[in-house]
């Protein structure tokens, strides 16, 4: 087992602990599994269905998608459906390339991306799709776990820094300008990306949810890419008094110490 595979296995185990401690099984899964579906295999006995997305490799889309479907059938996953295409486009349009509709709500949404949170070809599509996931779940008043994995490459043209600076208004006296500045100046951008993403999830979801961000997980990917795994538990509210609470949770997250997998 190489170092990336070992690190990824530890990340999946940490994510599974979160899921088990927040939502009773069986779970309805939607997202981006690995090619050999190791993440789904870890959850297999606790899943009611698996709705997997596969875009495929350009020029070989059908073959890669077919192989994923065969793997799922051979492993005996209950309620398996394959959605073909780009996951952000599928979420935003509510259907895949074959017009197969998404079946909201889900218990676990796994956005295991290639690349950064803000992607060069469609800068804010990933942010918009995260917001759409939260909205779809919120409209159905369904608690869920949201997993987001990205690397530290981003093409935000100052978007992340702009949001972090504006958090001074959101958090007020709860977080000092010096703390925000220190987060934004870090050479390793993963914590800044975590705070940015947490802001997106909380501000989108606080109409419907109490949002609980877990400590971000740092590890190294292939080619020494710096990887970031983020976990959020969104608990459906019985009332609508979340905004102030959401602000406090966001500010508290700024004091988190990341979990560094290589040090475990």
CATH number at residue 191: 3.40.50.150
Query: Is residue 230 in a domain?
Result: yes
The whole-number pLDDT of residue 57 equals 74
Tell me the pTM: 0.94
How far, in whole angstroms, is CA 124 from its chain's centroid? 15
- Any idea which of 46-55, 80-89, 239-248 has the lowest mean pLDDT? 239-248
**pLDDT attached to residue 146:** 98
Mean pLDDT of 69-78: 94
Taking only the tens place, the pLDDT of each residue in 186-211 is 999 999 999 999 999 999 999 999 99
Is 147 a residue whose pLDDT tops 80?
yes
* Residues contacting 148, CB < 8 A, separation 6+: 111, 113, 117, 130, 197, 229, 230, 232
* Per-chain mean pLDDT for the chain: 91
pLDDT band (50, 70, 90) for residue 168: confident
What tokens were used for 154?
Answer: 């981003």
Q: Residue 264 falls within a domain, yes or no?
A: no
- Integer CA distances (angstroms), 127 to 134, 139, 255, in order: 11, 18, 23
Bond preceding residue 26 cis, omega within 30 of 0 = yes
| Predicted confidence (pLDDT) at residue 72 exceeds the cutoff of 50 | yes
For residue 77, the enclosing domain spans 3-257
Domain-embedded: residue 47: yes
Question: What pLDDT digit, counting tens, does each position of 13-71 carry?
Answer: 999 999 999 999 999 999 999 888 999 999 999 999 999 999 877 777 888 899 999 99
Number of domains in the chain: 1
Instruction: Report d(CA 173, CA 167) in Å as an integer.
Output: 11
Answer yes or no: is 239 within a domain. Answer: yes
pLDDT at 223 > cutoff 80? no
Query: Once rounded to an integer, what is the mean pLDDT over residues 110-118?
Result: 92
Q: What are phi and psi of 142, to 5 degrees?
A: -120, 120
- The answer to the question of residue 263 being in a domain is no
**What per-residue confidence (pLDDT) applies to 236?**
94
Q: Does residue 262 fall inside a structural domain?
A: no
* pLDDT score for 264: 80
In a domain, 208, yes or no: yes
Q: Kindly give, in sequence order, each residue whose CB lies less than 8 Å from that of residue 29, ignoring residues fewer than 6 positions away.
A: 40, 43, 47, 49, 50, 51, 52, 106, 107, 108, 110
The pair of three-digit structure tokens given for residue 77, joined into one six-digit string? 């996953």
pLDDT score of 198: 97
With respect to residue 11, please indicate whether it lies within any of the assigned structural domains: yes
Q: What pLDDT score was predicted for residue 242?
A: 46
The pLDDT assigned to 1 comes to 54
**176: preceding bond cis by omega (within 30 degrees):** no
Q: What is the 3-state secondary structure (H, E, C) of 71-105?
A: HHHHHCCCCEEEEECCHHHHHHHCECCCCCECCCC
pLDDT tens, residue by residue, 4-14: 788 999 999 99
Q: Is 114 or 30 the better-scoring residue by pLDDT?
A: 30
């Amino acid at each position: 087992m190489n170092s990336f595979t070992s690190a990824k296995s530890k990340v999946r185990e940490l994510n599974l602990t979160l899921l088990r401690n927040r939502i009773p099984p069986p779970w309805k899964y939607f997202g981006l599994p690995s090619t050999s579906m190791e993440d789904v295999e870890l959850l297999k006995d606790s899943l009611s269905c698996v709705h997997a997305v596969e875009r495929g490799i350009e020029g070989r889309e059908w073959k890669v998608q077919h192989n994923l479907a065969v793997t799922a059938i051979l492993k005996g996953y209950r309620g398996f459906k394959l959605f073909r295409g780009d996951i952000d486009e599928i979420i935003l349009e509510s259907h895949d390339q074959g017009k197969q509709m998404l079946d909201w709500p889900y218990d676990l949404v796994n956005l295991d991306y290639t690349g950064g949170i803000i992607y060069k070809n469609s800068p804010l599509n990933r942010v918009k799709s995260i917001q759409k996931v939260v909205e779809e779940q919120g409209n159905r008043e369904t608690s869920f776990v949201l997993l987001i994995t990205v690397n530290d490459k981003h093409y935000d043209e100052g978007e992340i820094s702009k949001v972090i600076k504006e958090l001074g208004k959101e958090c007020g006296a709860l977080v000092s300008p010096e703390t925000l500045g220190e987060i934004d100046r870090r050479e390793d951008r993963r914590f800044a990306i975590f705070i940015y993403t947490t802001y997106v999830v909380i501000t989108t979801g606080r109409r419907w949810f109490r949002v609980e961000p877990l400590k971000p997980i740092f590890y190294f990917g292939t080619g020494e890419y710096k990887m970031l795994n983020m976990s959020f538990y969104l608990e459906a509210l019985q009332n609508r008094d979340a905004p102030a609470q959401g602000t406090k949770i966001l500010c508290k997250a700024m004091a988190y110490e990341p979990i560094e997998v290589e040090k475990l």
